[in-house]
Amino acid sequence: MTHTIRKAVFPVAGLGTRFLPATKAVPKEMLTVVDKPVIQYIVDEAREAGIEHFIFVTGRNKGVIEDHFDMAYELEATLKSRNKTAELELLGAQLPMAGSTSFTRQQAPLGLGHAIWCARDIIGDEPFAVLLPDMIMRSKKGCLAQMLEVFRATGDNVIAVEECEPDMAHQYGIVGVGEARGKAFEITQMVEKPAKGTAPSNFYISGRYVLQPEIFKFLAMQEKGAGGEIQLTDAMLKLMSRQKFWGMKYEGETFDTGSKIGFLAANVAYGLSRPELSDGFRAEIERLLRKA
């Protein structure tokens, strides 16, 4: 069994209906937090964790994501002719190595589980990571890098978990908590959006997974779950009867940029943490708060 994770899947085929009309023509993953598209934060986290191959499951209207991770030849030629070296370096630093990205299409948004299944042939027979591209995880050591420590120690499936208010558990995928091991614990149960008052804990699955390739057998069944969608949680639950899953208590902050509040909060947090912006931005926020 290999204890290395080389490949990561970014499911970017959702419709982003909570962000209409912005997402009518622009994918929600391309909305910007300060000056970078959301997807760039997620890819950077994967790169920091040592991921070598970035697999995007896209859909209609998502072509600009491909362009974002490609060379912009005309733009770069123009920047060069104008001696804009800082901008050129910025673009160069975010460009993935040739051959390290793959794009496959999910023709219809049938659910997260179905989106991951679309990447099966590109993944092949090795463990891999999944990063939800609308969850920005901000921490000293990236969330995926934290998870890979648990993966290297156990060789099992690992899911990042965080605590929510108990009365909000019905909005999330919730896990049952078993035996602890360092900052991880064995997962005993998983339930997607449990009915109020029935959640096995208040630890929710927060958008990062390290999975064994056997998950594809269960995703291939294409069974519909909560919301009539093919859910990743349902396939993980089936795999749990054969393999161990660990919940890793993620240390850091999470911004759900798929929700308006989360998206706005991410812009404020990242804006305030940028040295060249923080003073001016803070003054502007304080002025607006006084007026509100």
Q: What residue ranges bind ligand UTP (CB under 6 A)? A: 11-18, 28, 57, 106, 109-112, 114-115, 132-134, 258
**8 Å CB contact between 220 and 117:** yes
- If we measure between CA atoms, which residue out of 29, 37, 6, 14 comes closest to residue 232? 14
- If we measure between CA atoms, which residue out of 131, 130, 133, 134 comes closest to residue 257? 134
Least distance (Å) from ligand UTP to the CB of residue 229? 7
CB closer to ligand UTP, 11 vs 127: 11
Least distance (Å) from ligand UTP to the CB of residue 28? 6
CB closer to ligand UTP, 258 vs 271: 258
Least distance (Å) from ligand UTP to the CB of residue 92? 27
SS3 (DSSP) at 210: strand
CB closer to ligand UTP, 22 vs 177: 22
CB closer to ligand UTP, 134 vs 192: 134
- If we measure between CA atoms, which residue out of 269, 268, 270, 210 comes closest to residue 243? 210
Report the alpha-carbon distance of residue 100 to residue 51 in Å, rounded. 10
Q: Which residue has the tokens 């499911």?
A: 11
CB closer to ligand UTP, 37 vs 111: 111
Least distance (Å) from ligand UTP to the CB of residue 254? 13
Q: Which two tokens stand for residue 104?
A: 């496959």
The CB-nearest residue to ligand UTP is 14
CB closer to ligand UTP, 111 vs 194: 111
Report the alpha-carbon distance of residue 14 to residue 16 in Å, rounded. 6
β-pairing, 36-37 vs 32-33, is: antiparallel
Bridge partners, 176 (sequence order): 189
Least distance (Å) from ligand UTP to the CB of residue 69? 16
Q: Which residue has the tokens 């890979």?
A: 148
Least distance (Å) from ligand UTP to the CB of residue 179? 30
